Amino acid sequence: MSLSPSTPGWSLLQSAFYKLCFAASLALGVSLFLSLLFDSGLFGDPAVMQVGRKGGAAEIGAARARLGIFSEYHPAAITLRLEGAPRRLLLSAVNGKLVISNTSGQELRRIDPEDRNIEQVFATWVVAEKGLLKFEVDSELASLPALGLCEALSGSTLSLDNGGEVALGWAQRAPLSSRIFTPCLQLLRFDFGNTLKGRPVLDEMIVRAPRSLTIALPAFLLTLFIALSLALWCLAAGGMLNRTINILSALGMSLSSVVWIMLLQKWLAADLAWFPVYGWQSPVLSYAILPIIVWVCVGLWPEWRFWRERAGELKNREFMFAARARGLSQAQCLRRHLLINLAPTVVVQVLGALPFLALGSLLLERFFGIPGLGALTADAVRDGDVAVLRASAFCLALLFLMLQFLCDLMVVAIDPRAHSREVRG
């Protein structure tokens, strides 16, 4: 049987195709946005952020080469040596010029590298120093334009002491288009590069993701089940039960997640010794139970309020009054009609939360020493590991788009009226 524009399933297939194309275009847009965010220098030089403000010229240059800022980098194009009376000179790059100054900040000489090669650039300085400055150029690099010395030195300062040697690098900056679009294409190929420790980011994420899901997935589903069950129970019983749970939810939400973690960790792990306080090793069940309990205690109360409000809205709809008018009991109305109409919302909630569950809980993983994706992201923020941050943001966005697409299809399958409303809209 072939589908034609008049076939009932045609519009659904067409809608799915459009949404798939839209999700693919959004994935491309996300990768381009992340490239602009991390590689444009909007938040500062990513290489300086990675190695720290105290990093030397060689460390910063190597980081720029690793990040693709430099298309070519040689860490020791020229070696400088200062002789004579004890003193210290500082060499920096300012506005495309090589600037020599003393420790007091007084500028002693400014060298213009324009139209010179590496071998020529320090010749006048050598003459001015009357032979007290010596330099040795890498013979293979001697003919390269001296402007590359300024590129390698930008953002850092070399200290040249009497009797010591210092190496000055040479670099060629990659075009802006290459710095933006190359990482973008790498993201789309799932080539996330390496962490600062040299491990492939994708391998690290594959190893850590199951640990995060071991905690997050059962905790989320348990929270959802308890909250939804309590909401329906309170809706059916009302009265004192509803007021009591409402007060408990207000108290539970007034405590921050950090307080919940510290209280339950001290009480259940440290005082009662029911669970390990910290760590993650086989068998993992004993290490996973306490973080799951904490997650449920933190997430149950806002989740209950959401489902109680949503179920209360549906209870006052016309179809519920019609069901009660047909003589159905309260329990039958909730089970046969209200739960069915809640199903699309449950699907949206579950699929919308899954991408964030995959990345783990930053607080739980830090407090309980769980080496999951949340801890990996926290370490990346602390260390300025751009590759991990880029990969985490891209995977989160991609998962979110894919699951939103799946969510749309499942909602239509559960409630065909949703597709009819979408077509009319």
Q: Mind giving me the DSSP string for 211-222?
A: HHHHHHHHHHHH
Distances (CA, A) of 363 to 25, 47, 258, 259: 33, 27, 8, 11
The better pLDDT of the pair 267, 313 is held by 267
Domain ranges of the chain: 70-173, 201-384
How much is the pLDDT for 232?
81
Q: What pTM was computed for the model?
A: 0.70
The amino acid present at 178, given as its one-letter code, is S
pLDDT digits (tens, 9 = 90+) for 25-65: 766 676 677 666 666 666 666 777 767 667 777 888 888 88
pLDDT at 12 over 70: no
Query: Distance between alpha carbon 126 and the CA centroid of its chain, in Å?
Result: 50
- How far apart, in whole angstroms, are the C-alpha atoms of residue 19 and residue 16? 5
Helix, strand, coil percentages in the chain from 3-state DSSP, rounded to 5: 65, 15, 25
Q: Cβ(344)–Cβ(335) under 8 Å?
A: no
pLDDT at 284 over 80: yes
How much is the pLDDT for 343?
76
- Name beta bridge partners: 136: 79
- Residue ranges with strand state E in 117-246: 133-137, 157-161, 165-173
- What percentage of the chain carries pLDDT values higher than 90? 1
The amino acid present at 102, given as its one-letter code, is N
pLDDT at 145 over 80: yes
Contacts of residue 234, defined as CB under 8 A and 6 or more positions apart, other chains included, come to 241, 242, 245, 308
Q: What is the CATH number of domain 201-384?
A: 1.10.3720.10
Lowest pLDDT segment from 28-42, 65-79, 111-125, 342-356: 28-42
Query: Distance between alpha carbon 275 and the CA centroid of its chain, in Å?
Result: 31
How close are the terminal C-alpha atoms of the chain, in Å? 29
- Name beta bridge partners: 73: 171
